[in-house]
Amino acid sequence: MTGHTVRLQTLGKVTSCRSDQSLLDAYLRENVWLPHGCTQGTCGSCKLKVLDGEVDHGDAPAFTLTPEEREQGITLACQATPRSDLLVEPLAEVSDDGVVRHPLRDLTGSVVVLEDIARDTRRVVVELTEAMPFNAGQYAELRVPGTGVWRQYSMANPPSETHRLEFHVRRTPGGVATDGWVFASLAVGDAVDVRGPLGVFGISRPQEEPAILIAGGTGLAPMKSMVLHALAEGLVPELYLYHGGRTEADLYDGDLFRALDAEHPHFHYRPCLSEQQWDGASGMVTDVVLEDFATCKGMSAYLCGPPAMVEAAGKVLKRRRMAPRLVFKEEFTDAADLAAAGGPLATAS
Amino acid sequence: MTAVTETPAWIAEITMAELEKNPYPFYERLRREAPVAFVPALGLHIASTRAACQEIGSQSDIWDGVISPAGGRTFGHPNVLNANGPEHDELRGMVDPALQPSEVDRYVDKLVRPIAKRYVEAFENDGHADLVAQFCEPVSVRALGDLMGLQSVSSDKLREWFHKLNVSFTNAAVDENGEFANPDGFIPGDEARAEIRAVLDPLLDKWTVEPDDSALSHWLHDGMPEGQTRDREKIYPTVFVFLLGAMQEPGHAMASTIAGLWSRPEQFERVVDDPKLIRRAITESLRWTSPIWSAVARVNKVDTTVAGTFLPAGSVVMLSYGSANHDGNAYDAPSDYDLDRAPVPHMAFGAGKHGCAGTYFASEVCRIGLEELFETIPNLERDETKGIDFWGWGFRGPVELHANWEV
Ligand code: HEM
Ligand code: FES
């Protein structure tokens, strides 16, 4: 496969990119940080301006990359492949925010833990043959064996464990990766191909603001990594973890978080059930947050879960006057849409 | 004047009051039927299309800057708007240094952010505000006031001054003899000017002997031989230009940005959620409701023809940038505010040698102001019980902007 030379205008960084490789992939593998989010063409955070040369926009959907943008020479780094040597410039600021980034790499490992932890939810732990350094909150992709399909799952283990990655997988009826694999044939000892780390979500630097973490379902995975990391490193002055489910059957790892809550005076665990009365908080997790805080001014938040929950949480935090720039979101991308677009499915599948 | 006899009735009958209330319908017809037209009520020509404004504004070899009669009556001479040649170069040499983008970058965040924070803190727990009077105008005047060295003048006084100067500046109507139709309309401006001089003279006295880093102190000293300061009579007319336009317009721009976004609630939401979009929101607002709507003019040094209208040397043409920015040949659905429209450059800062000196400073003031407002009150909402009235033909923006939010 022929390679093309890609140059980043202001950073001056040059990389070689195959004509079947995305520009984002080429840079991340060389540990040159480019802004990105979903790597699936849906979030738009990886937009680049092509100043010279020609790209193939790949599967970039029109709702992320409009025809006008294409005309202006804008492309999605996670979808675009080079057709010639290129000179490009990211649209988003590539500021040095002091976060150490880790290169994207291909790894193999084998399944060492496979257990049911909640309704339709499994924990999969993969022991890697080589380390995969990552930041708390990032995700990796697992290949569904026998297919060319990759699925995205956030690491739930703290970044101090680079050889053993923990993932939480929720079943999607008929899902290629779940009913077709993790909830069917997958067994302890099976080999797995892993590609990572990816994503920008997470906590990796000390912050002055108290943080509210709001998770729906397996949106708990990145939060678990972030909580363990933040507590170990003392990164956040006050940390609130909200986990929402319909009934107790949807919650998991409660014992771990209750123990952390007891041990760390500045860590608070709030599981919430929307369809069951119990001695804990009842109602939608976002309504519970609304009740718990008279104001969220000066605080930050991390949201991970289905799009409806993330959107509702964003609204609640605004009502409580949290600055939007301090609200960080990771959505489960809608599996059905992406399946139709022929792209990889997301965390939830 | 032959032009008068050729004037169609709909142009001959237009009044200042109509233009100030809503200039758009009249201008839409001008753009279609008479892109460069003589308007008897003003005693001068008006250029209304983007192409005509662009051509006249940028051809500085044919067109000199000139001030409208009412503007000249308000500011006096020589001011930066109507000076030309070396005299204009000197005045721009006086005002430009503090407004260069690289220089603005050095001070603007430190200057404006604390001001914006202070004003929003004053009402953030009230749950409601008139954003024009309580935020946009005071942030706008305080930012420039502090830059100029007018820390000792209250924001309310600065606002009062620009409102009064505005009344005079836009008192443009003339009678059939070309005399001002409403001479009393200049009284507020005359009062403001007298008061400004009474307040500024002692400050200029001080800066004469004790220069500091304020812009006005630089205006006195920069480019002058050692031991001399610039003649105050050369400074004051341009001080008045600043105390009107430069004080008022960033406030208009901020208020129009909010009003524009409120006309597209989902775009408003996006901008509040992603402050990086604020710059784009301001740019579209400047196109949508240009703050300096129709306030500057040019005069030709030689006979020329623009958009089919023959203009003998000495013709005064007012550049209605607010109309140029609604030109259907350049913008689809121009009366809609749309954050996502294709980025065709707007003319809100004018063109050519007399183009706005404060483009970058003004944009940064607006950006930082709106960042602080949306960050502190992300649940800001339009008060649906109150309408939004825009006013002005020379200068235009919302009169009041009522918001409420949950506290
Ligand atoms: C959003 C706010 C503002 C807008 C929309 C605006 C717009 C304009 C326009 C349309 C002109 C006339 C250009 C022409 O004749 O073609 C102008 C001139 C000027 N503006 Fe601004 N302005 C703004 C703010 C400011 C500020 C804050 C300053 C100073 C700090 C400033 C300084 C000037 C000066 C000195 C001139 C006269 C230039 C000359 O005649 O050489 N402006 N402005
Ligand atoms: S669209 Fe490329 S990373 Fe999301």
8-state DSSP, A174: T
Give the pLDDT confidence of B85-101 residue by residue, as tens digits: 999 999 999 999 999 99
Give the pLDDT confidence of A103-130 residue by residue, as tens digits: 999 999 999 999 999 999 999 999 999 9
Instruction: Tell me if B355 CB under 6 Å of ligand 1.
Output: yes
- Per-residue model confidence (pLDDT) at position B81: 96
The answer as to whether B7 is a domain residue is: no
Residue percentage of chain A with pLDDT more than 70 = 94
The answer as to whether B8 is a domain residue is: no
Q: State whether B342 and A68 contact (CB < 8 Å).
A: yes
pLDDT at A348 over 60: no
The answer as to whether B308 is a domain residue is: yes
Q: Which amino acid is at B232?
A: R
Q: Nearest ligand, CA of residue A199?
A: 2
- In whole angstroms, what separates CA A112 from the centre of its chain? 23
The answer as to whether B168 is a domain residue is: yes
The CA distance from A123 to A121, in Å, is: 7
Which B residues, 363 through 392, put their C-beta within 8 Å of a C-beta on chain A?
374-379
The answer as to whether B100 is a domain residue is: yes
Distance from CA of A319 to the nearest CA of B (A): 5
- Ligand 2 pocket list (CB less than 6 A): A 36-39, 41-46, 64, 76, 78
- Per-residue model confidence (pLDDT) at position A338: 40
- Per-residue model confidence (pLDDT) at position B343: 77
Q: Do the Cβ atoms of A166 and A124 come closer than 8 Å?
A: yes
Interface probe for B, chosen from A70, A74, A296, A318 (most Cβ of B below 10 Å), is A318
Residue range B40-46: mean pLDDT, rounded: 93
Q: State whether B375 and A319 contact (CB < 8 Å).
A: no
- Residue ranges of domains in chain A, CATH in brackets: 3-90 (3.10.20.30), 105-200 (2.40.30.10), 211-331 (3.40.50.80)
pLDDT at A337 over 50: no
> Domain with B257 in it: what CATH number?
1.10.630.10
Residues of chain A contacting B121 with CB distance shorter than 8 Å: none
Query: What's the Cα-to-Cα distance from A263 to each of A257, A269, B48, rounded to whole Å?
Result: 10, 12, 72
Paired with A105 in beta bridges are A196
Q: Do the Cβ atoms of A172 and A121 come closer than 8 Å?
A: no
Q: Do the Cβ atoms of A343 and A41 come closer than 8 Å?
A: yes
The answer for residues whose C-beta is within 8 angstroms of residue B94's C-beta and 6 or more apart is B218, B219, B222, B223, B230, B235, B238
Give the pLDDT confidence of A58-93 residue by residue, as tens digits: 989 998 999 989 999 999 999 999 999 999 998 887
Residue range B4-28: mean pLDDT, rounded: 90
Q: Is A36 helix (H, G, I), strand (E, B) or coil?
A: coil
Residue range B34-53: mean pLDDT, rounded: 96
Q: Which two tokens stand for residue B8?
A: 């169609």
- Per-residue model confidence (pLDDT) at position B371: 97
- Per-residue model confidence (pLDDT) at position A332: 74
Domain that holds residue B363: 16-404
Nearest to A116 by CA among A181, A191, A172, A182: A182
The answer for residues whose C-beta is within 8 angstroms of residue B97's C-beta and 6 or more apart is B103, B218, B222
- Per-residue model confidence (pLDDT) at position A344: 33
- The helix (H) or strand (E) run that includes residue B309 is strand B309-311
Residues of chain A contacting B272 with CB distance shorter than 8 Å: 318, 324
pLDDT at B5 over 60: no
Alpha carbons within 13 A on the beta-carbon side of B279: 6
The answer as to whether B2 is a domain residue is: no
Give the strand pairing for A81-82 and A55-56: antiparallel
**Looking at the complex, does the CB of residue B123 fall below 8 Å from at least one CB of chain A?**
no
The CA distance from B223 to B218, in Å, is: 9
Segment of A4-8, A31-35, B166-170 carrying the highest mean pLDDT: B166-170
- In whole angstroms, what separates CA A71 from the centre of its chain? 30
Atom of ligand 1 nearest to the CA of B81: 40
Residue listed under structure tokens 């008279």 = A294
The answer as to whether B25 is a domain residue is: yes
Phi, psi (deg, nearest 5) at residue B239: -60, -40
Of the candidate ranges A68-77, B127-136, B194-203, the one whose mean pLDDT is the lowest: A68-77
Distance from CA of B112 to the nearest CA of A (A): 19
Residue range B12-37: mean pLDDT, rounded: 96
- Per-residue model confidence (pLDDT) at position A1: 54
Q: Do the Cβ atoms of A181 and A145 come closer than 8 Å?
A: yes
In sign, the C-alpha dihedral spanning B374, B380, B381, B386 is negative
Among A68, A314, A323, the residue with its CB nearest the CB of B375 is: A323
Residues of chain A contacting B376 with CB distance shorter than 8 Å: 297, 321, 323
Residue percentage of chain B with pLDDT more than 90 = 94
Residue listed under structure tokens 């030309």 = B84
ipTM above 0.90, yes or no: no
Q: Which two tokens stand for residue A319?
A: 């009502």
Give the pLDDT confidence of B135-150 residue by residue, as tens digits: 999 999 999 999 999 9
Atom of ligand 2 nearest to the CA of A46: 2
User: What is the Å distance from ligand 2's center to A143 Cα?
Assistant: 19
pLDDT at B252 over 90: yes
Confidence of residue B32 (pLDDT cuts 50, 70, 90): very high
Give the mutation target among B79, B356, B360 for probing the ligand 1 site: most ligand atoms within 8 A of CB. Answer: B356
Q: State whether A314 and B273 contact (CB < 8 Å).
A: yes
- Per-residue model confidence (pLDDT) at position A100: 86
**Full-model pTM:** 0.85
> Is the omega angle on the peptide bond into residue A344 within 30 degrees of 0, that is, cis?
no
Q: What is the DSSP string of A197-211?
A: EE---S--S--SS-E
Give the strand pairing for B397-398 and A3-8: unpaired
Give the pLDDT confidence of B207-233 residue by residue, as tens digits: 999 999 999 999 999 989 988 999 999
Residue range B108-123: mean pLDDT, rounded: 98
How would you class A145 by CB atoms within 10 Å of its CB: exposed for 0-12, middle for 13-18, buried for 19 or more? middle
The answer as to whether B83 is a domain residue is: yes
pLDDT at B6 over 80: no
- Residue, of A34 and B327, whose pLDDT is higher: B327
> Is the omega angle on the peptide bond into residue B78 within 30 degrees of 0, that is, cis?
yes
**Looking at the complex, does the CB of residue B72 fall below 8 Å from at least one CB of chain A?**
no
Residues of chain A contacting B375 with CB distance shorter than 8 Å: 323-325
Of the candidate ranges A26-35, A286-295, B245-254, the one whose mean pLDDT is the lowest: A26-35
Confidence of residue A345 (pLDDT cuts 50, 70, 90): very low
Domain count within chain B: 1
User: What is the Å distance from ligand 1's center to B349 Cα?
Assistant: 6
Among A314, A321, A325, the residue with its CB nearest the CB of B377 is: A321
| Average pLDDT score, chain A | 91
Atom of ligand 1 nearest to the CA of B350: 16
- Per-residue model confidence (pLDDT) at position A12: 79
Alpha carbons within 13 A on the beta-carbon side of B264: 20
